[in-house]
Amino acid sequence: MYLLVIFLPLLSAIICCFFSRWIGFLRAWQISTSLLGITFCLCLMIFYEIGLSSTLCTVEIGYWFNIGFFQSPWGFLFDSLTASMLIVVTSVSFLVHMYSGSYMEHDPHLGRFMGYLSLFTFFMLILVTGDNFMQLFLGWEGVGLSSYLLINFWFTRIQANKAAIKAMMVNRIGDISLTLGIALIYIYFKSVKYAVVFAMAKEFEFSNFYFLGFNWNTLDLICIFLLIAAVGKSAQLGLHTWLPDAMEGPTPVSALIHAATMVTAGVFLLVRCSALYEHASENIRLLVVIVGALTAFFAATTGLMQHDMKKVIAYSTCSQLGYMVFACGLSFYSVGMFHLINHAFFKALLFLSAGSVIHSLSDEQDIRQMGGLARLIPFTYVFIMIGSLSLMGFPFLTGFYSKDLILELAFSTFTPVGHFAFWLGSLAAFFTALYSFRIIYYVFIGPINGNRVVYSNIHDAPTLIAIPLTILGFASIFAGYVGKDLFVGLGTDFWGNSIYCSSINTSTVDAEFLPVFFKLIPVILSMCGVATAYLFQTHSLFTFKTESQVSVILFNFLNRKWLFDRVYNEWVSQKGLWFGYVISYKTIDKGVLEFFGPAGLTHLAKNLSRFSTNLQTGLIFSYAFLVLLVVLLLLSLTLFYYYEIAIIETFCIAISAFYIFLFVDRYVL
């Protein structure tokens, strides 16, 4: 059962990628969806066995590397962390598979699409189930590869190509960092297995490593590397630019990869390595908090002014990932994980609903071209409403139980950084509500702005789209309430040994006894966000907003994503390309190396031979002069026979004499 969970998606990928031509796209869709359905059921059973019954399962099926001390087995570790990730990955993946059958119905490459989706699921499962860092890395790279293939699914579109390359390259920065981290882990722990590394983490609390001219604490350095890896994969501030661009892929891809699974891999890494982070110095955790809080705030503000429906949701993903990361940084790994699970449900719901809207509007993505859809596609409206309310933490929906808990906990650490995270997170909650309702207003409530032809062909979600929406809708309402006591309840032993949290950093209880006012701040701010969104859209008082110079600047700043892309393009990418062309290509490769290498040598030989042939001018007196010179040279050679230095001097004199002769020959005669 345990291995079946991993290999059924692989089987599905193989069948869809290689045989869909023969079995037909419909059959490929049926097979992959049913295989994923079976996988999901198996994962439910695993969750029962591992999570609810508190057991642990490890499967080792041989060695990947077995070289001296470096042993990396093919091992699959199923603990409660893995089991909860499995639920998230396979449920969302199963629903997305089902959804794609309708959404991608008329696509000529449906078989390939299903294959890639299954391949992605397979790699994600490898990532979460691996019991060592090498296997995690395999899954890590694999999901990067699959995301490339999926973003680039419509490979004839240049934007999709560029977005896919960008996703791959930006992720690769984090991947390099992860490789460094794993290498460092191996250097110190002499093993890449989780069991060994996490058990020994305390031993290396005070060891040092010399890197980049600084003497680092080893665990700090490892944690920084892993953090950068998580930043790349989870689209945190700095390496977030790939995520919004990755919306070029089909919508189910965005739902699967960029909402529910792939981007959560970074948070999963942080949670998985909780033992390392807990033993590293406090500054590293503060760094994690700051990165996460800034991301939450940044992405929420950027989401305000985007006009592409999917990009708004992408920024909201980015923002929510920020919450998870700072929850991890504050040592509330279980809470971060809980938010990850809840977020997967409501974000997948939001993306799939957005896909439904886009589908019904003949692939229109710009919210300014929509409007008044509430009465035309009420079903989708209901689910996007559920998703948005859940996202903004409306009381007693899923998001409320994790997001507000994160903010409460951030406040109850009573440290400056905790409060920094709390206020940024609360502001982000305000903006989250603002942009969620901005979308809802633009798409469903506001005046109709679209094309009449599009509107006359409108249709609500077909069955295959409706089923996943319904399931995810129910999950978005109830998952938080159902899972609350299990995942983050007071004194729950669900996580067992899969998450380590040092007792000094635990302050879960404090959050329970906060003043009610502070507990209500996020909710109040969210409600204010809704009201602001409504007022901005409807009230004439706010119409000045488009004319004022300040608001134009502000709008441009937010619409252009805080100018991150511009700075990166102009100061990093273009400089990099310039360096690659001018310095390493023109100066070094074509310049120095060619000059002193083959081209230079042939050139030299050619020039020398031309020089020596030019000596023979055809004029008698030049020959006579040369003969005289050479005779003198030979005579002086005999003269200076015993003085080597003199011989060299004579040669130099002879050569300069030749040059003088040439000069005379060319310019004087």
Partner 1 sequence: MISVSVISILNFVLFCIGIFGIVFNYSNLLSILMSMELMLLSINLQLIVMSLVFDDLVAQVFALLILTIAAAEAAIGLALVVIFYRLRGTVSLKSINLMKG
Write out the residues near partner 1 by the rule CB under 8 A: 612-621, 624-625, 628, 669
CB of 663 to partner 1, least distance (A): 16
Choose among 215, 238, 330, 237: nearest CA to 284.
330
Q: Which DSSP letter does residue 364 get?
A: -
**Size of the chain in residues:** 669
| Nearer CB in complex with partner 1: 48/621 | 621
| Residue 64, both tokens | 């990947």
Our CB check for partner 1 shows the closer of 447 and 618 to be 618
- Distances 187 to 179, 273, 529 between C-alpha atoms, Å: 12, 17, 50
Q: Minimum distance from CB of 601 to partner 1 (Å)?
A: 22
CA atoms within 13 A on the CB side of 323: 37
Residues 6+ apart with CB under 8 A from 663: none
CB of 607 or CB of 612, closer to partner 1: 612
| CB 669, min distance to partner 1, A | 8
559 or 616: CB nearest partner 1? 616
Q: Which is nearer to partner 1, 4 or 655 (CB)?
A: 655
**Nearer Cβ to partner 1, position 281 or 617?**
617
- Minimum distance from residue 634 beta carbon to partner 1 (Å): 15
Shorter beta-carbon distance to partner 1: residue 552 or 615: 615
Burial of residue 363, with CB atoms counted within 10 A of its CB: 0-12 exposed, 13-18 middle, 19 or more buried:
exposed
Query: Is 263:321 a contact under the CB 8 Å cutoff?
Result: yes
CA distance linking residue 499 with residue 497, whole number of Å: 5
The nearest distance, CB 587 to partner 1, in angstroms, is: 37
Which CB sits closer to partner 1, 503 or 613?
Answer: 613
Q: Distance between CA 625 and CA 669 in Å, rounded? A: 14
CB of 620 to partner 1, least distance (A): 5
Q: Could you give the 3-state DSSP secondary structure of residue 664?
A: helix
* 7 phi/psi in degrees, rounded to 5: -90, -15
Q: Which is nearer to partner 1, 599 or 627 (CB)?
A: 627
Residues 6+ apart with CB under 8 A from 397: 346, 386, 389, 390, 476, 477, 480
Cβ of residue 597: shortest distance to partner 1, in angstroms? 29
Shortest reach from residue 627's CB to partner 1, in Å: 8
Rounded least distance, CB 614 to partner 1, Å: 7
Q: How far is the CB of 618 from partner 1 (least distance, A)?
A: 4
SS3 104: coil
If you ran DSSP here, which 8-state letter would residue 308 be given? B
Nearest residue (CB) to partner 1, 463 versus 613:
613
3-state secondary structure 517-583: HHHHHHHHHHHHHHHHHHHHHHCHHHHHHHCCHHHHHHHHHHHCHHHHHHHHHHHHHHHHHHHHHHH
Nearer to partner 1, 572 or 624 (CB): 624
Q: What is the dihedral of CA 519, 281, 236, 550, to 10 degrees?
A: 70
* Contacts (Cβ under 8 Å, ≥6 apart) of 435: 300, 303, 304, 306, 312, 315, 316, 533
Q: How far is the CB of 594 from partner 1 (least distance, A)?
A: 29
113 within 8 A of 516, measured Cβ to Cβ = no
